[in-house]
């Protein structure tokens, strides 16, 4: 029988955010050596990179490339996958200019990367209890929504768990995070995986974690901060999984 909780983690939508795939890999490693019992009681789906072509391009050509590598026009390549989901697509915080870094694509779910996640979430939506998408940077722990200042019905529960997760994260290395809805503490953006998974797949616990730092290094986080970021984020992820499992 399917296990009652299926946490899903999808980092790396934005190719230049290298710390996100590193945290996902560390999460996988930690589960393999886990003494908390989470791996025995839950199924985990971890996608180390949801934009592999873009990620590869940051290693070979342009370190700060953000989008996918699809051919949409003769002039500019790529789509911002985190503006491409079919939920309030193109309403706010997105562009119809193919050369923009926040180009939402010619239509919703135009990219194979976004189609793959959307198909999986819809097929498994009755099992998935947690969805976490990893990004950088800003040190924010956010729940839906991003396309509006309106909040989901269970926002008080999402806020409660976010507070606990941030407290656990800060306890590791003293790193301070802000928590709240994306629209209230970051900016408005439509077509994100976070809002799609909450609004369409109706997953109960949905979070975006904007990892270190707060802008000094930005996307070029130095190697010595990789392991501390992974360690503290893993503690927060554990909190979310345990709280969701207890409900």
Residues labelled catalytic? 210
Q: What is the 3-state secondary structure (H, E, C) of 64-103?
A: CCCCCCCECCCCCECCCHHHCCCCCCCCCCCECCCCCCCE
Comparing CA positions, the residue from 50, 36, 68, 37 lying closest to residue 8 is 50
Element (H, E) at 19: helix 19-32
Structure tokens at 155: 């926002």
Q: For residue 197, how many other CB atoms are within 10 A of its CB? A: 27
Q: How far apart are the first and last CA of the chain?
A: 19
The 8-class DSSP code of residue 238 comes to H
DSSP string, 153-170: TTHHHHHHHHHHHHHHHH
Comparing CA positions, the residue from 131, 139, 128, 53 lying closest to residue 85 is 131
The 8-class DSSP code of residue 13 comes to S
């Amino acid at each position: 029988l399917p296990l009652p909780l299926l946490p899903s983690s999808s980092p790396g939508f934005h190719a230049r955010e290298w710390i996100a795939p590193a945290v996902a890999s560390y999460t996988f490693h930690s589960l393999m050596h886990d003494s908390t019992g989470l791996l025995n009681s839950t199924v985990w789906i971890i996608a180390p990179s949801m934009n592999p072509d873009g990620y590869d391009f940051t290693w070979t050509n342009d370190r700060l490339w953000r989008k996918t590598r699809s051919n949409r026009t003769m002039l500019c390549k790529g789509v911002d996958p985190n503006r491409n989901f079919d939920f309030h697509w193109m309403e706010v915080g997105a562009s119809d200019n193919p050369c923009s870094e926040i180009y939402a694509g010619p239509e919703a779910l135009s990219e194979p990367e976004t189609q793959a996640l959307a198909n999986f979430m819809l097929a498994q939506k009755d099992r998935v209890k947690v969805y976490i998408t990893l990004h950088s940077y800003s040190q924010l722990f956010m729940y839906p929504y991003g396309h509006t200042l309106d909040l989901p019905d269970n926002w008080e529960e999402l806020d409660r768990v976010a507070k606990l997760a941030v407290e656990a994260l800060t306890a590791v290395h003293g790193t301070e995070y802000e928590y709240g809805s994306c629209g209230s503490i970051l900016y408005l953006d439509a077509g994100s995986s976070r809002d799609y998974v909450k609004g369409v797949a109706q997953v109960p616990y949905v979070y975006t974690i904007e990892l270190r730092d707060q802008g000094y290094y930005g996307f070029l986080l130095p190697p010595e901060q990789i392991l501390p970021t992974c360690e503290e984020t893993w503690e927060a992820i554990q909190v979310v999984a345990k709280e969701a499992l207890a409900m």
